[in-house]
Amino acid sequence: MLHKIDGQTTHIYIGREEIFQLPAQAQIGVCHIMTYMLLWYRRCQTLGLVIMFGFLCPSGISPVPKFKKGDVNKAMEHRMNRSRYIAIVFNRSATKGRIFLAPYNVGRHWILYVIDPYNSIVYFMDPLHNDKNKGTGNGVCEELRTLIET
């Protein structure tokens, strides 16, 4: 059961294939990230830190695989739905001192965004980020930046 991750159903299903992806060091999916977030949430409950953290559903903010050539309207609608989801979560749950963890999939790579909507600050943690781009903004996924700003 999954609790307090806005926009996510209450169950995570992990099949045999997903179980074997971890020891094989294969690409991990949303179910792996959601399981980790569940464990993190339960640890926060144990420590009494739940009020400090909010979680955005990775499938609610990450883009779907490429749309077909003529599907510009579908792509725009998908982007607006993702922006709307973020706005709803922040309007409902953002308070002073509360940060939101937002795992974001940029193709075959996950980035963790830490968002403080009360102070309009976004941090990103990218394990593949290149040192020469530090401080330039070149490593930040422009699409998520646009979604959050929208």
The tens place of each residue's pLDDT in the chain, 150 residues long, gives 334 555 555 566 666 676 666 666 667 777 778 888 888 888 888 999 888 888 888 878 877 666 667 677 777 787 788 888 888 888 888 888 899 988 888 777 788 889 998 888 888 887 776 555 555 555 556 677 777 776
Are β-strands 53-56 and 121-125 bridged in parallel, bridged antiparallel, or unpaired? unpaired
Short-list 54, 3, 12, 4, CA closest to 33: 12
DSSP 86: H
Question: Which superfamily, per CATH, for 5-149?
Answer: Adenoviral Proteinase; Chain A (3.40.395.10)
Residue burial 4-30, b: 16+ Cβ < 10 Å; e: rest: bbbebeeebeeeeebeebeeeeeeebb
| Domain parsing of the chain, residue ranges | 5-149
**pTM of this prediction exceeds 0.75:** no
Q: Looking at residue 86, what is its pLDDT?
A: 86
